[in-house]
Amino acid sequence: MGKRKFDDDQITGILKEHQAGVKVADVCHKHGISEPTFYRWQSLQFGNAGLDARRVRALEEENQKLKKLLAEAMLSAATLSEMLAKTSKGRS
């Protein structure tokens, strides 16, 4: 499979041009793409496949990292408060 000529952001921009009222043929001619390519991109964006799949995956990975950091911070806080409670009881 060859290198893609357009990235996801560019494809989204091209599709938004059409949504703004420019004819499909004019958009395709301007960007040097065929009409079937345009309609394939459109179906991918509006069908649940989405051109934002890469962004969604990146957000999911970031979410997992943040959940892990939160769990570690909560464990650390629980450990510290347990140690503080033991230390406080020993001084009484």
Question: Is residue 45 situated within a structural domain?
Answer: yes
Q: How many CB atoms lie within 10 A of CB 73?
A: 10
Q: What does DSSP assign to residue 50?
A: -
Direct distance between the N- and C-terminal alpha carbons of the chain, in angstroms, rounded to an integer: 73
Tell me the per-residue pLDDT of 28-70, one tens digit each, with 9 for 90 and over. Answer: 999 999 999 999 988 887 765 555 677 888 899 999 999 999 9
| pLDDT value for 49 | 54
pLDDT-derived band at 89, boundaries 50, 70, 90: confident
Question: Is residue 3 situated within a structural domain?
Answer: no
For the chain, give the mean pLDDT. Answer: 87
- Domain tally for the chain? 1
Closest alpha carbon to 54 in 17, 16, 15, 4: 4
Q: How far apart are CA 26 and CA 59, in angstroms?
A: 35
Contacts of 55 (CB under 8 A, 6+ apart): 8
Residue 35: give the domain boundaries: 8-90
Question: Is residue 64 situated within a structural domain?
Answer: yes
Question: Is residue 82 situated within a structural domain?
Answer: yes
Whole-prediction pTM: 0.50
